[in-house]
């Protein structure tokens, strides 16, 4: 059987995966979006279903003032003695912490802080001991992959923090994970930066604290030399087995706008690459050390890959699952009944950097899609956005002006904001349409049977290369106060996302 990458398309970066029995679980970074740390489930490693988020309460996820480069960085998911643990870093508030649950489909605990600093934390359990590692400085000021033993009940350090590995020689050593396979300890990490030089490296030792010997073939996985190939930035992996001797790397990569244009808009996505252990105990990965769009792997012969993207509407999406907010929301301003979404605007717009505007966002998961929503604005303004950051977003906006509505396109690119393609229409519902491709975002409006072209804008301006961030484009339904602070709710209806084709990667 062959399968197509990415297995989880869209802005789902820094994956960490485990197997418990015959079920796999996966978590991803979420940065300044609430709730945090998307949680997925699978029975075959290829087909994944989101079952919620890990961090669902403000007590777990303070985000005030967290910008697009803040909030929740790379999480690690682990399972020990009947309990699930998720450890991560809130780079805006508090640093490293973990939460736990005995029911993966239920609520998770409040955070338990860990005394060790750094980012990209991980846990390793063995014989009643809990080891915590991160990339940062140890107690003597040495920099590298740093580890200590902790009391898993309290997060307190039981041993000093010690650098156990300094990597294979690349820059930006990060994302460490420790495993024990056939009596040997494997330390896996990323180097090169989470960009075009990204790569996976590893080392092996006989003790959880080393010393570790580098794999002679490092990097074990990278697409950094695949010129003219759409999948780039391969790295930040977790190693998982199927219980039958087959091993895989769950890792991130991104898709350029095409095979030659070095811009990506969808963010870093989740990919699956097979691993092969040799008789000498060292492993190799992928297609000669690379990740490809179409792959096959032992252990997946009987797996049938389902469509990765299905049409979406208000009926099969939910706030807190597909729909998220920027930072912690004022929940009293949201009402969702599966037919109509009602939002009550506050004084904050999409340029807000401290708190949460009244807006909902969903990840753009494909280059090619059509998004539709009908907006009924009785006061103030609302619209449909392709949002990358506070400084980079394209909007179609409907504003109530007395007994009329003004429909326009608004482009925010850095310090420049333009509003054009303005149409003044009789008051009433307006349907906003966004057609996306790998090159363009094209807005339209429909009212009273007439269609208005609001113009197109280049996709590459919303890329991570321009934004300098780690997220991807989000599709947003937003509101803005333009006149009445305590006006009626704004209603959104007939929301739909359709995907015209299963996208092929070149």
Catalytic residues: 14, 174
Strand order of the β-sheet with 174-181 is 174-181, 184-191, 199-205, 212-214
Q: Is the peptide bond before 211 cis (omega within 30 degrees of 0)?
A: yes
Phi-psi region of 60 (alpha: psi -120 to 50; beta: other; left: phi over 0): alpha
Residue 238 makes CB contacts below 8 A (sequence gap 6+) with 15, 16, 17, 18, 76, 177, 188, 249, 250, 251
Tokens of 324: 């998220």
Q: Are 199 and 224 in contact (CB under 8 A)?
A: yes
CA dist., res. 414 & res. 417, Å (int): 8
Match 């961090």 to its residue by tokens: 55
Beta strands in 377-485 (DSSP E): 381-389, 392-401, 404-413, 416-426, 430-436, 440-447, 450-458, 474-480
CA dist., res. 414 & res. 391, Å (int): 5
Q: Are 239 and 176 in contact (CB under 8 A)?
A: no
Backbone angles phi, psi at 453, to 5 degrees: -85, 120
Comparing CA positions, the residue from 134, 145, 149 lying closest to residue 74 is 134
Comparing CA positions, the residue from 333, 434, 438 lying closest to residue 380 is 333
Comparing CA positions, the residue from 79, 75, 121 lying closest to residue 100 is 79
SS3 314: helix
Comparing CA positions, the residue from 415, 391, 477 lying closest to residue 67 is 391
> Beta-carbon neighbour count of residue 209 at 10 Å?
18
Q: Are 263 and 257 in contact (CB under 8 A)?
A: yes
Residue 4 makes CB contacts below 8 A (sequence gap 6+) with 293, 294, 305, 308, 502, 505
Comparing CA positions, the residue from 298, 295, 289 lying closest to residue 235 is 289
What is the dihedral sign for C-alpha 313, 315, 320, 326?
A: positive
Cα atoms in the Cβ-side hemisphere of radius 13 Å centred on 292: 12
Comparing CA positions, the residue from 20, 16, 7, 40 lying closest to residue 242 is 20
């Amino acid at each position: 059987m062959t399968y197509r990458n990415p297995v989880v398309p869209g802005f789902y970066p820094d994956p960490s995966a485990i197997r418990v029995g015959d079920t796999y679980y996966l978590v991803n970074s979420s940065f300044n979006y609430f709730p945090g740390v998307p949680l997925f489930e699978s029975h075959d490693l290829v087909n994944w279903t989101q079952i919620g988020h890990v961090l669902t309460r403000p007590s777990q996820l303070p985000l005030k003032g967290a910008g697009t480069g803040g909030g929740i960085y790379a999480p690690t998911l682990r399972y020990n003695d009947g309990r699930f643990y998720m450890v991560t870093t809130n780079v805006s508030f508090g640093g490293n912490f973990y939460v736990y649950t005995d029911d993966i489909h239920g609520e998770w605990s409040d955070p338990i802080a860990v005394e060790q600093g750094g980012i990209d934390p991980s846990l390793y359990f063995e014989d009643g001991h809990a080891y915590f590692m991160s990339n940062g400085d140890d107690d003597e000021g040495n920099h590298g992959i740093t580890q200590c033993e902790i009391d898993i009940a309290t997060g307190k350090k039981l041993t000093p923090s010690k650098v156990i590995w300094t990597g294979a020689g690349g820059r930006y050593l990060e994302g460490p994970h420790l495993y024990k396979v056939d009596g040997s300890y494997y330390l896996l990490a990323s180097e090169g930066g989470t960009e075009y030089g990204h790569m996976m490296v590893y080392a092996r030792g006989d003790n959880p604290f080393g010393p570790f010997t580098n794999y002679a073939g490092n990097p074990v996985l990278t697409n950094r030399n695949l010129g003219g190939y759409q999948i780039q930035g391969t790295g930040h992996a977790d190693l998982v087995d199927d219980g039958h001797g087959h091993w895989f790397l769950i890792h991130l990569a991104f898709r350029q706008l095409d095979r030659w244009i070095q811009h990506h808009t969808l963010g870093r996505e989740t990919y699956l690459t097979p691993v092969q252990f040799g008789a000498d105990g060292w492993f190799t990965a992928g297609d000669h050390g690379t990740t490809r769009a179409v792959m096959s792997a032992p252990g997946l012969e009987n797996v049938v890959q389902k469509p990765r993207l299905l049409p979406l509407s208000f009926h099969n999406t939910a706030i807190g699952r597909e729909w998220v907010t920027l930072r912690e929301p004022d929940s009293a301003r949201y009402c969702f009944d599966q037919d109509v979404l009602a939002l009550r605007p506050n004084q904050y717009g999409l340029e807000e950097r401290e708190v949460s505007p009244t807006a909902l966002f969903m990840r753009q998961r494909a280059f090619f899609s059509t998004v539709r929503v009908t907006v009924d604005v009785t006061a103030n303004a609302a619209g449909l956005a392709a949002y990358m950051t506070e400084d980079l977003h394209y909007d179609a906006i409907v504003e109530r002006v007395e007994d009329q509505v003004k429909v326009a396109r608004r482009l925010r690119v850095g310090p420049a904001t333009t509003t054009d393609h303005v149409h003044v229409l009789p008051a009433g519902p307006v349907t906003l349409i966004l057609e996306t491709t790998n090159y363009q975002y094209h807005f339209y409006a429909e009212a009273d049977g007439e269609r208005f072209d609001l113009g197109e804008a280049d996709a590459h301006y919303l890329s991570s290369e321009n934004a300098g961030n780690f997220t991807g484009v989000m599709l947003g339904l937003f509101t803005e106060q333009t006149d009445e602070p305590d006006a009626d709710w704004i209603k959104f209806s007939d929301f739909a996302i359709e995907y015209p084709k299963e996208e092929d990667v070149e």
